[in-house]
Homo-oligomer: A and B are copies of this chain.
């Protein structure tokens, strides 16, 4: 299979379940909402070494938010529900409550379950309840005025680790392909790319051969172009000299599929992109499989 002359590998991406909450962050201007959303979703690339996976889902113009101000919907994800709750408290408390003019609202109102995030205790008894539309919120007095927040956030069982590889004839071609793929996925609601700029430069394998005692993940040598002649099982095709991985978390399988479709199509427009593949572990990692050829 080819798209715009780029080979689509006959393989699949393997993914696994993760708990996800969506937080709507609003502020007086778009820029302030973005700054708070960025801080709150930082240091959150992979649960291997971070306390959460997080990212910006999408921008919400003023007429789409609960309080009529510009905002961003962010996703915060963790394989464990209690850890997710903890991360919601810490990330909202440290990075949004502290940010200028922000408010936070539950972004999945029809979720089957809700996590309590009791920030009103910060008000030390001076807080009071308010309604924002139909939503029950707390108003907490702070230096700038009042911080408004809901205290229950819907949680759903989503999908982590949707992915594909962008292989280029050289590094800059592969990178431009990955960049435009990440941009295309920004428009797919219900998904985030938790890595910097949405791109992974150093995809890993589980465990380590040489440093197995203390490394739970290490470089995936089969996909390292500089090791093509040095490892027996290299999966770097001839003519490919660099590759990047796009890793997607989403609220459901459908959104992962839409993101993979949009990202792959966009990447195939970049001159020098040679092939699209995907990462899987033979079905050992997780129950979700996204076959590339089935997306188109």
Taking the closest CB of chain B, its distance from the CB of A216, in whole angstroms, is: 11
Give CA–CA (A102, B165) in the complex, Å: 19
- Kindly state whether residue A73 has any CB partner on chain B within 8 Å: no
Verify A95–B43 contact, CB threshold 8 A: yes
Output the nearest chain B residue to A180 by Cβ-Cβ distance. B29
Interface residues of A (CB under 8 A from B): 4, 28-32, 35-36, 38-46, 48-51, 61-63, 67-70, 90-91, 93-102, 121-126, 140-147, 165, 168-176, 178-180, 183-184, 186-187, 195-197, 199-204, 208-211, 214-215, 217-221, 223-227, 230-231, 241-245, 262, 265-266, 269-272
User: A219 — which chain B residues lie within 8 A by C-beta?
Assistant: 122-124, 126, 140-142
- A30 to B173 Cα, complex, angstroms: 15
Most buried by B among A123, A126, A144, A165: A144
26 residue pairs from A and B, CB less than 8 Å apart: A28-B269, A29-B179, A31-B31, A36-B197, A38-B42, A41-B42, A42-B44, A42-B95, A45-B94, A48-B94, A51-B51, A61-B184, A62-B180, A63-B265, A68-B265, A69-B180, A70-B183, A98-B195, A100-B196, A124-B218, A126-B224, A142-B202, A144-B244, A145-B225, A146-B226, A171-B272
For A31, the chain B residues whose CB sits under 8 A away are 31
Q: How far, in angstroms, from A218 to B48 measured CA to CA in the complex?
A: 32
Q: Which residues of B contact A265 (CB under 8 A)?
A: 62-63, 68
Q: Which 9 A-B pairs have the closest CB atoms?
A: A42-B42, A142-B202, A125-B210, A99-B196, A124-B218, A141-B224, A172-B172, A61-B187, A49-B94
